[in-house]
Structure 1
Amino acid sequence: MSFAAVRSILQLNTDETQALKFLPVVTQITAKKAVQGSTADLARLVDSIPIPCAPRFSCLVPIFHATLKSVQVPNYINLKTIPAIMGAKWALLGLVKICSAARPSAVGSDTGDSIVTKYIVRRWDEIFPWMRFFARNCLPSPYDVSVTPPRPDLCNVFDATKLCIHPLTFICTSSKEGRHILRSSISVQHYVAQLWVLVGNLKGDVLQGDPGSSTDSLVSMIRTSFTVTNNACISESEDPDKITLPISNYIHAAGGVKPVVYTLLRYIRRITRDAVAVEEPRSWTPSDKSVQHLHLFTAGLHYSFLFLKTISRQDASCRAQLIRQGSIRTMVDAITLILPKILVQTNAEMDFHSQLGLADRQNVLWMGYSYIASAIRDGDDGVTSVCQAIDAGLIQTLEKGVVCPPHANHREYPNGHPPRGRMGDVELLLLLPTFFLYHRVVESIFKHWFRVQSAPMAKREIRDKGLGVALELVLKSSIDAMDHRSVEPINPQEYKCSGPGCGIWTSEFVSKKRRCSGCLISLYCSEKCQRTAWRNGHKKWCQVLRCAVGPWGSRDIRTSLQVIAGFETSEISGMAKDVETRVREAQQQFPAFINKLVLMLDMTVFPPEIHVLPVHRLEQFPGKDPIWPEIADEIRQRSDSPPKGYMFSVVKVHLGKSKFTLFSPSMALRMAFESQYFVVDDSVDENDSTTLGDQDLDYGSEPLYDADGSEDKCYEV
């Protein structure tokens, strides 16, 4: 059946007409009828193009361009507009077919740009409106793929996918000018975002209209390749002078933060599943089909990881939503599943291949590690992120990495091993111990060791020595954290009222639990005990205890003072010689403050570092407060082994991007509670409390209470 002509004849110039004479005779006849406006012959012309030799038929491109230029995108679909629609469909399919076989390096002699730039990007105003038309009328709804497209009779989903998605893939991989269109056009970004959501929601492996000529999973291939297009929309431009749209525009186009997060995590899970399902290569060579598929899927994961890291860094709402939806667990699961496929040493030809080699395969893992590290290091709540990572099995996954050996003597890698990148496994591994001093993290460590004991891993040969050494240090630190958390209190008054001489346990309080809003640590059974404690020394130590929990009164810090104190004591004792050296250096560097030096244990790095500074040089610490010399004298009087050369010690910790300098927890707890550690009894409901005074303050998301508002009121920082 032949459709009516689009118009009597398409407009071709003399050179374009002459070029058609180099085609086979049968193709020339079909091309002539297509130029005269026959849609049926235009379809036959496209079908006659052999894919392996498609670039040789580039002389047909002017026919396709002329067809698109000769018609306008209709507002309605009826008998009059169907011929134009079918002509545009076959013209677009022809362009896709020719560009699909073109190499990125193929350039035209007249413009010097790639074939894709000449045939698609430079004709974007003619091509893009038709791409949107077929996406709107021949593809399912992005958010409900079960809905039948409005007009599948015009173009089935299989062909519509090629028309709507393939040109985007071409310009992302082959055209710098085309990539700028993706980054700078609001309408194009909206189009790409909607397609990204649609492809992410596709289920199964077969599209409607798929001829079934290939055994490969078409949906998996499309999903994986679309990650390149998606990432190009939000990546930085190669030309710094060109303006790109903010990432908020793309997020809005995709439906908001939640759809973006859900779709992205779904992409990662499904691409991971596809990568794991790849059959073991029969021979690790670049021509092996399984090797090629594995490369495709791991590249898809790489760009998905990169997209995740970008939106997490640039948009705070996405960063928080990703953590809430378990992005760290998803990332750890993905790395754990693909790691056996990635860390495979084969032969020199493959391991050092420019595209399929071990370095590029490992780079997928490093990108995933980099996101986990950034979520921990740059987030507001790094403790939660670390807990999620450990609970997901990150430490076990890193333990598997030691089996990948370094290569010996290769000119591109002087150290014998492909580069790890800026944030690889070792860097992430050494970030974890900086959070081992928190109670919640130690609980996750307990669970980790319980899993290891329940299902012990087979003994592995440590072939990556650098990772092996770092792993040993971190595991030792995790055991130390459990030891510090398990220390029994010297005095059971830890769970009692802090009032002098009061022996009531917190679980036996007649009224509700009362907490001092100044220090956030002391608990009292009654107003009487609180007043008595204030007059008997708490007035002096209230500010000191508050400085031990930080200026913002973080619950994570407050509930972890025993662990922090344990690390503080053990680290300073273990570096006794280094401490003496640092003190002598500080006395020479700051002779005017020789009596006001403070030892700082920096726990924000691993291994911890020691610094000695004047008290006023400490960040986020009331160094000029006159109470500190008095406290230092008290410490010297009551300590069996007073510190030599410095007043007291402080500990620098972080909760992610926020860092705090804390007064020595071990000293504060020991001096304020008569050599007893104090741990919060979380078994008592603190949210059901009554106030002692007339003011109710909120620190660390818990109700905290002053004294009675009189002159004996607790010190407030």
Structure 2
Amino acid sequence: MAFASLQLTPDETKALKSLPAPIQIAAKKALQGSISDLARLVDFITLPRTSRCCCLVPIFHAILHSVQVPTYINPKTIPTITRAKWALMGLVKISTVASQATGVKEDAVTKYIVRRWSDTYPWMWFFAHNCLPPPYDVSVTPPRPDVCSVSDAVQLCISPLSLICTKSEEGRHLLRSSVSVQQFAARLWILVGNLRGDVLPGHRGASTDALISKIRASFALTNYVCVSESEDPAKVTLPLSNFIHAAGGVKPVVFTLLRYIRRIIRDATAVEEPRSWTPGDPSVKLLHLYTVGLKYSFLFIQTISRQDASCRAQLIRQGSIRIVVDAITQILPRILVQANEEIDLHPQMGLAGRQEVLWSGYSYIASAIRDADDGITCVCQAIDAGLIQTLEKGVVCPPHVNRRDHPPRGRMGDIELLFLLATFFVYHRVVQSIFRHWFRMQNDPVEKRDIRDEGLGLALEVVLTSTINAMDYRSVEPINFHEYRCSGPGCPVCTWDFVNKKRRCSGCLVSIYCSEKCQRTAWRNGHRKWCQVLRCTVGPWGSRDIRNSLQVIAGFENNQISGMAKDVEKRVREAQRQFPAFSDRLVLLLDMTVYTPGIHVLPVHKLEQFPGDDPIWPEVADEIRARSDSPPKGYMFSVVKVHLGKSKFTLFSPSIALRMAFEGQYFSDNEAHESVDEDEIDYPKSPGNQDLDYDSESSNDKCYDV
């Protein structure tokens, strides 16, 4: 169709008469194919003229609809491409100013861009493919920057997506449900993540505009919308795998995302200190832009971590927790500023929204710990990155501003994350990180802070007390004796002095022997019975982390049960009334997967992941009563519930198991070996001692992790 024959409807033509006469003439010439007049129409669009500019939209749509999108840029297609560029730019500009002027979130963007997607999207794809550098090599210069500069192409491709994500619910669903649109967004996301510098080629602004930084921060929302859940449960969205495939795989997604976070933080920390904390201050606006971009980057990282196990594992390997903690640490002093009522209570830039940015980061850390197979490693990364120190800095900001309603901290805000960390203080590796935390605190100058958030301050005080308790339990001598000494009764040999290969019992995975002689002696002296009990103490998988942490778990167990003696008696009486048929088979469950730990009393057969029907437990209970100075009242023994992340285990009491199973370990050599004649030992075939596992001294017990 020739441009001279482009026609508008009578109503559309009538609407143009409201424009100034020169603009009416330019509109007529634009419909006839004049590129300069089309550009003049785009320049005419400004916020004060919004109501009159809307009548130009049919012209832009007519131009885009009238021509077929070319495959390549060549001299014959350049006029068509230039017209399309100005028409699309006009739609983007008028959608922006119309949504700002009227305050209507859906109208302009949905009507002018989303519902004319068949006209706008092919041209967006064309400019992205022909006028932008390749996503993975941004140093390559586009072939014809004179037709459409990189700066103009970015505006034509990225601005419509940003408008859709902020203003149009219908458009957001389009991003979540269209394969081609997600591929388009993923390509742009990788490209923006790889851009460097401050200004795009062809940008008419000054070098101080930090255009790339602003685009990067604003595009974080688009990226999150592509993988987020639909606002309407009835609408089907694409799986996360589609976006990951479009972006090139798990590694490019993870690397680009972490690069986004690092660069947004770099840009945010470089913002000048606001001269006045008011919504119109340029520095306040920039900080708001960067913190919003950081928030959606945190939400994106949490979404892909939760939905895709390979992304979750790759993020942990690449140090995502350390990067998120570092980001929160750097941004916290810039945004937790209580300035004045005007800015603190602002609906978008207020203190509540700024705090929510931090909680989004805390929420990712919590979900990574909670959903991981190895949550202990995640907790160690967080503590080593300085998470506890960062949380201590958060007490300077009050949880409620002038008693106004404040958004809740969410499922995993700062306090909730603190309590989640505390459930892992029972592990040896975590206690080592705690030691390093306190060492840093001793060497760093202590800053006195006014505690305005009393809830966070009290939570910190309780959790920090738990860190000290964990270090105390870990330091009890002899430290983890079952790992560093031969478990043969009275044998003084330490594991590093073993002449032959170290032998670990394949049944319990706890006892270690320097020789077959010590192993036989231990079996006859009671390991026959306690082998199965010890196996129940390290869990069904025989986790090395649990095995190396029995001493710390036992310390917390004893302290909690003794500190809740009255509550224990009350729960025993309730359980005896509730389960009268099993009143002689009750056990005390200490749930350490929550903080503070919970107490439950149940029949042994009702415990999860615990062999409750095994006939050995009444016999074990009798021996506990006979050998204990203060036997438990009303229950057979205690068990402990712990978690390694998403996996939870119910363990036989480590304090009882270690005390009973290794009671004879410190006999003198004569007492131990005179008590049993090795030649008379009838070594039975038992599931717990059918085989001995061997490993070299240098490799420790590495090969026994399950």
SS at match of 1:353: coil
Contact 2:399 2:453 in 1 (8 A): yes
- Give the superposition deviation at 1:297: 1.2
Q: Which residue of 2 aligns with 1:687?
A: none
SS at match of 1:450: helix
CA 1:493–1:21: 2 relative to 1, 3 Å:
closer
CA 1:42–1:704: 2 relative to 1, 3 Å:
closer
Q: Which residue of 2 aligns with 1:531?
A: 520
Q: Which deviates the most, 68-77 or 516-525?
A: 68-77
Deviation digits for residues 8-63 of structure 1, max 9, x if unmatched?
Answer: 33232222222222222222222222111122332333234445535532222222
Aligned 1:536-547 pairs, distance under 5 A:
536-547=525-536
SS at match of 1:102: helix
Structure 2 Cα separation of the partners of residues 492 and 118 of structure 1: 73
Aligned 1:342-353 pairs, distance under 5 A:
342-353=335-346
Structure 2 Cα separation of the partners of residues 93 and 79 of structure 1: 22
Q: Which residue of 2 aligns with 1:703?
A: 703
Q: Which deviates the most, 517-526 or 274-283?
A: 274-283
Q: Which residue of 1 aligns with 2:286?
A: 293
Structure 1 Cα separation of the partners of residues 555 and 499 of structure 2: 33
Select 1:169's aligned residue among 154, 162, 169.
Answer: 162
Gaps of 5+ in 1: 678-691, 706-716
Structure 1 Cα separation of the partners of residues 693 and 551 of structure 2: 27
Select 2:266's aligned residue among 260, 269, 273.
Answer: 273
Select 1:13's aligned residue among 9, 13, 17.
Answer: 9
Structure 1 Cα separation of the partners of residues 228 and 314 of structure 2: 21
- Give the superposition deviation at 1:218: 0.8
CA 1:545–1:62: 2 relative to 1, 3 Å:
same
Select 1:118's aligned residue among 111, 120, 135.
Answer: 111
- Give the superposition deviation at 1:704: 4.3
Aligned 1:524-673 pairs, distance under 5 A:
524-673=513-662
Contact 2:198 2:208 in 1 (8 A): no
CA 1:491–1:475: 2 relative to 1, 3 Å:
closer
CA 1:428–1:579: 2 relative to 1, 3 Å:
same
Q: Which residue of 2 aligns with 1:309?
A: 302
Q: Which deviates the most, 506-515 or 545-554?
A: 506-515
- Give the superposition deviation at 1:96: 1.7
Contact 1:653 1:659 in 2 (8 A): yes
Structure 2 Cα separation of the partners of residues 65 and 623 of structure 1: 73
Contact 2:506 2:692 in 1 (8 A): no
Aligned 1:353-502 pairs, distance under 5 A:
353-407=346-400, 410=403, 412-413=404-405, 419-489=408-478, 495-502=484-491
Q: Which residue of 1 aligns with 2:677?
A: none
Q: Which deviates the most, 474-483 or 331-340?
A: 331-340
- Give the superposition deviation at 1:322: 1.0
Aligned 1:43-192 pairs, distance under 5 A:
43-50=39-46, 52-103=48-99, 106=102, 114-192=107-185
Select 1:36's aligned residue among 8, 32, 35.
Answer: 32
SS at match of 1:625: coil
SS at match of 2:411: coil
Which residue identity lines up with residue 429 of structure 1 in the other structure?
Answer: L
Contact 1:106 1:114 in 2 (8 A): no
CA 1:136–1:645: 2 relative to 1, 3 Å:
same
SS at match of 2:651: strand
- Give the superposition deviation at 1:170: 1.3
Q: Which residue of 1 aligns with 2:253?
A: 260
Gaps of 5+ in 2: 667-688
Structure 1 Cα separation of the partners of residues 498 and 615 of structure 2: 37
Which residue identity lines up with residue 146 of structure 1 in the other structure?
Answer: S
Contact 1:494 1:676 in 2 (8 A): no
- Give the superposition deviation at 1:586: 2.0
Structure 1 Cα separation of the partners of residues 301 and 51 of structure 2: 36
SS at match of 2:298: helix
Deviation digits for residues 255-299 of structure 1, max 9, x if unmatched?
Answer: 111111111111111111222222222222222222222111111
SS at match of 2:159: helix
Q: Which deviates the most, 53-62 or 178-187?
A: 53-62
Structure 2 Cα separation of the partners of residues 106 and 50 of structure 1: 13
TM-align CA RMSD? 2.4
Structure 2 Cα separation of the partners of residues 165 and 29 of structure 1: 31
- Give the superposition deviation at 1:551: 0.8
Deviation digits for residues 562-588 of structure 1, max 9, x if unmatched?
Answer: 111111112212222222222222222
Structure 2 Cα separation of the partners of residues 250 and 557 of structure 1: 38
Structure 1 Cα separation of the partners of residues 388 and 554 of structure 2: 25
CA 1:536–1:701: 2 relative to 1, 3 Å:
closer
Deviation digits for residues 498-537 of structure 1, max 9, x if unmatched?
Answer: 2234333221222211111110011112233323322332
Which residue identity lines up with residue 396 of structure 1 in the other structure?
Answer: Q
CA 1:623–1:11: 2 relative to 1, 3 Å:
same
Structure 2 Cα separation of the partners of residues 501 and 554 of structure 1: 27
- Give the superposition deviation at 1:179: 1.3
Contact 1:298 1:361 in 2 (8 A): yes
Which residue identity lines up with residue 641 of structure 2 in the other structure?
Answer: K
SS at match of 1:207: coil
Structure 1 Cα separation of the partners of residues 194 and 102 of structure 2: 35
Structure 2 Cα separation of the partners of residues 401 and 157 of structure 1: 42
Q: Which residue of 1 aligns with 2:224?
A: 231
Structure-1-length-normalised TM-score: 0.90
Structure 1 Cα separation of the partners of residues 177 and 100 of structure 2: 22
Select 1:337's aligned residue among 324, 330, 340.
Answer: 330
Which residue identity lines up with residue 511 of structure 2 in the other structure?
Answer: S
CA 1:33–1:409: 2 relative to 1, 3 Å:
closer
Structure 1 Cα separation of the partners of residues 219 and 195 of structure 2: 13
Structure 1 Cα separation of the partners of residues 292 and 607 of structure 2: 46
Which residue identity lines up with residue 341 of structure 2 in the other structure?
Answer: A
Q: Kindly tell me the number of residue pairs found equivalent between the two proteins.
A: 680
Contact 2:639 2:651 in 1 (8 A): yes
**Sequence identity of aligned pairs in percent?**
74
CA 1:86–1:406: 2 relative to 1, 3 Å:
closer
Which residue identity lines up with residue 275 of structure 1 in the other structure?
Answer: A
Q: Which deviates the most, 324-333 or 271-280?
A: 271-280
Structure 1 Cα separation of the partners of residues 479 and 278 of structure 2: 65
Q: Which deviates the most, 143-152 or 211-220?
A: 211-220
Which residue identity lines up with residue 258 of structure 1 in the other structure?
Answer: K
Deviation digits for residues 585-643 of structure 1, max 9, x if unmatched?
Answer: 22222222222111111111111122221111111111110111111111122222222
Q: Which residue of 2 aligns with 1:245?
A: 238
Which residue identity lines up with residue 322 of structure 2 in the other structure?
Answer: R
- Give the superposition deviation at 1:239: 2.3
Structure 1 Cα separation of the partners of residues 237 and 400 of structure 2: 42
Which residue identity lines up with residue 597 of structure 1 in the other structure?
Answer: L
Select 1:283's aligned residue among 276, 282, 303.
Answer: 276
Kindly indicate which of the two structures has a greater share of residues assigned to helix: 2
Contact 1:92 1:163 in 2 (8 A): yes
Q: Which residue of 1 aligns with 2:215?
A: 222
Select 1:197's aligned residue among 190, 194, 197.
Answer: 190
Structure 2 Cα separation of the partners of residues 605 and 526 of structure 1: 41
Structure 2 Cα separation of the partners of residues 154 and 367 of structure 1: 42
Which residue identity lines up with residue 40 of structure 1 in the other structure?
Answer: S
